[in-house]
Amino acid sequence: MQNVFELTHPLAAHHLSILRATSTSPAQFRTQIHLLSMLLAVRATDDLQLAPVSVETPLTGMTGSKLDQRIAIVPILRAGLGLVEPVLQLLPDAAVWHLGMYRDEATAQPVEYYCKLPEGNAVDVGLVLDPMLATGGSIKAAVVALKRWGVQDIRVLSVIAAKPGIEEFHREFPEVKVFVASIDPVLNSHKFIVPGLGDAGDRMFNTQRD
């Protein structure tokens, strides 16, 4: 699939298997999300623009590089919060803007309840963070919000995506790059990714219902 980038690194496969396991505790789940998010962020930012900068080492002067683009990290609440810190470790000067959405269980459609993106002066690159891309509805809504702001370069970081969800998302936004650790084949009748990992937000924040 064009503009879809799936991690092939052995570490991604290793950490993803731990993440999926029912026996993984919430604390370990958060750790795995952190590690996979960092791997995704490295892959998703490998073509950011640079500008030259003068650097004085202990031995001599040299020309180094610095990032030359304004970047926004945009997590989709609540589960997207788990991806923010590892991405910020790599991009400490990025702005963080939150989008609040929940899935209507009857329709499986996203319902927006919080959006405080500014007007004008859009960043150069927007990184949308959501651990799961199932139907693609929430991420489509996030992309619409970023485009309304004026962001031209939008990239999606998801740990697991369903193949039907990516296809549906790209029918509307084929130009948006999607970076994932795994592409799972199907959605079940409740629109959950299979094999997936269950509800990422509940497992991350230990709010599973018995």
pLDDT of residue 14: 97
In percent, the amount of the chain with pLDDT more than 90 equals 79
* Percent share of the chain, pLDDT over 70: 96
Which of the four pLDDT bands, split at 50, 70 and 90, describes residue 124?
Answer: very high
pLDDT tier for residue 78 given thresholds of 50, 70 and 90? confident
Nearest by Cα to 72 from 181, 147, 4:
147
56 domain-assigned: no
47 located within any domain:
yes
Q: How confident is the model at residue 107 (pLDDT cuts 50, 70, 90)?
A: low
Identify the CA nearest to 204 among candidates 136, 130, 106, 143.
Answer: 130
Query: What is the DSSP track for 158-208?
Result: EEEEEHHHHHHHHHH-TTSEEEEEEEESEE-TTS-EESS-S-HHHHHHT--
pLDDT tens for 147-161 read 999 999 999 999 999
CB distance 69 to 125 below 8 Å:
yes
Range of the domain at 152: 4-51+62-205
154-191 pLDDT, tens digit per residue, is 999 999 999 999 999 999 999 999 999 999 999 998 88
On the question of pLDDT at 105 being above 70, the answer is no
**Mean pLDDT, rounded, of the chain:** 93
Q: Answer whether residue 18 is part of any domain.
A: yes
57 falls within a domain: no
pLDDT at 113: 74
Report the Cα 182 to chain-centroid distance in Å. Answer: 13
| pLDDT(146) > 80 | yes
Predicted confidence at residue 119, as pLDDT, reads: 85
Q: Give yes or no for a contact between 34 and 86, defined as CB atoms under 8 angstroms apart.
A: yes
The answer to whether position 190 is within a domain reads: yes
Q: Please determine, for residue 111, whether its predicted confidence score (pLDDT) is greater than 80.
A: no
* C-alpha span between 130 and 84 (Å, rounded): 10
Q: Give me the CATH number covering residue 95.
A: 3.40.50.2020
Number of domains observed in the structure of the chain: 1
User: Using alpha carbons only, what angle is made at residue 20 by residues 188 and 27, rounded to the nearest 5 degrees?
Assistant: 130
Residue 46 located in a structural domain: yes
- Note the pLDDT of residue 106: 67
The position carrying tokens 């064009």 is: 2
Domain membership of residue 43 (yes or no) is: yes
Question: What are the percentages of helix, strand and coil residues in the chain, rounded to 5?
Answer: 35, 30, 35
Q: Contact, 31 vs 204, CB < 8 A?
A: no
For 39-51, the pLDDT digits (tens) are 999 999 999 999 9
pLDDT greater than 70 at residue 85? yes
Average pLDDT score over residue span 94-119: 78
Is 210 within a domain?
no
Q: Is a pLDDT exceeding 70 seen at residue 80?
A: yes
pTM for the predicted model, two decimal places: 0.92
